[in-house]
Amino acid sequence: MKNIFTFILLFVLAAGGIQAQTLEEVKAKKAELMAMQSEKQAEADAFNGELADLSKQIELLSGWQTGISGLLGLNFGGSNNWAANANPNSSSSTLNIGVNGYANNIKEKTFWRNTLTTNVSWQGLDNNTNDDQAGSDFLENRNGDVLIASSLYGFRLSPDIAATVLGDLNTSVFNFLSPGTADVGVGATWTPSSIPNLVVVAHPLTYHFAFSGADAVESQSALGAKIKATYALELPGGVAWTSNLGVFLPYSNDETTIPFIDENGVEMTSEEGLFEYTWINSFNIADLWKGVGVGFTVGIRKAGFEYPPGLQSYTALGLTYGF
């Protein structure tokens, strides 16, 4: 009996030793495979970097790089005898369409950057569908209209600095240049290689045309300086942010009498010059589902020649799709 117990004890100890040895071997094998994986991943990362560089060279050698994205916001609402609603019998509709595009030709010594931003929205509203007075139909009232285009041509003096010519347009689609502004100027542009998505334009010789949208106000023009900055950044969460700022600084202090109606409906006048700025920021989460994403754009503008009381602004929210 004693021999049997001794045999069982030796068998258990031997099995435990074999298991411990097997576990150590598995751990060592895992560590070895992880080390090999790290080496292969480093090689893959190196290949990916080389492929990205080659793709960039192909784009530069092939000529034009183009892109276009669209934004669509659509809403229909209505109620019929809904007692809790402030307007129990009502209907509303909203449509917002935006298009952003670019066409760039960037070479070693020259570049040509072109951008286009448009946004148009309509709204229909009937607060009482049961009365005899018809409300505004869908697509009848346009409550947003933006058209901004820019063309920048440059000859590089160094990798980061270029002599440039700029044409800039800021108006609307359906009320083209009524009101609106157009600029033509020359100067320098900074495209720092350390910040690939930053473009800063400084044009001290810019001729500015301000077109009036009022019958009683004549269009004006002036010589001044144009400053523009464009930047794009990939934010956490896959959010792409694009910011565009444009400022015109006139050299003269000439002012024009601009009539307007204040918030209380009272007719007023104001003496305004041609200083103006526009700042537009866009946020886009692309490809949430089969290329469809969500986009949001907000723009502010100060141009006393167009609207003396203060800031102009617009917002757009909707689904996006890029081509």
- In 3D, which of 149, 151, 74 has the Cα closest to residue 114? 151
Two tokens, residue 308: 């003396």
CATH of residue 72: 2.40.160
Q: What's the number of domains the chain is made of? A: 2
Distance set, CA 293 to CA 47, 94, 287, 315, 317 (Å): 30, 19, 5, 17, 11
Among 62, 82, 107, give the residue marking a domain's end: 62
Same domain, 194 and 124: yes
Same domain, 243 and 257: yes
Same domain, 136 and 14: no
Q: Cα(52)–Cα(264) distance, rounded to whole angstroms?
A: 58
Same domain, 1 and 113: no
Same domain, 107 and 196: yes
Same domain, 105 and 187: yes
List, in sequence order, the alpha helices (H) in 63-154.
Answer: none
H/E segment holding residue 89 = none
H/E segment holding residue 177 = none
Among 62, 87, 112, give the residue marking a domain's end: 62
Per the DSSP assignment, residues forming a β-bridge with 181 are 170, 210
Same domain, 274 and 159: yes
Two tokens, residue 23: 């576990």
Give me the torsion for CA of 16, 17, 23, 28, rounded to 10°. 170
- 121 close to 97: Cβ distance less than 8 angstroms: yes
Q: Cα(272)–Cα(132) distance, rounded to whole angstroms?
A: 44
* pLDDT score at 76: 75
- In 3D, which of 139, 122, 135 has the Cα closest to residue 89? 135
Q: Report the relative pairing of strands 136-156 and 110-126 from DSSP bridges.
A: antiparallel
Enclosing domain of residue 286: 67-322
pTM as predicted: 0.75
Q: Cα(243)–Cα(254) distance, rounded to whole angstroms?
A: 31
Same domain, 118 and 33: no
DSSP string spanning 178-240?
Answer: SSEEEEEEEEEEE--TTSTTEEEEEEEEEEEEEE-SSTTS--EEEEEEEEEEEEEEEETTTEE
Same domain, 182 and 258: yes
* pLDDT score at 32: 82
Q: At 115, phi and psi to the nearest 5? A: -135, 155
Same domain, 50 and 72: no
Q: List, for the chain, all residue ranges whose pLDDT scores fall below the cut of 50.
A: 7, 10, 12-13
Same domain, 21 and 2: yes
* pLDDT score at 13: 47
DSSP string spanning 239-294?
Answer: EEEEEEEEEEEESS---EEEEEE-TTS-EEEEEE-S-EEEEEEEEEEEEEETTEEE
Which residue has 């009539």 as its token pair?
259
End-to-end CA distance of the chain: 85
Same domain, 15 and 153: no
* pLDDT score at 2: 52
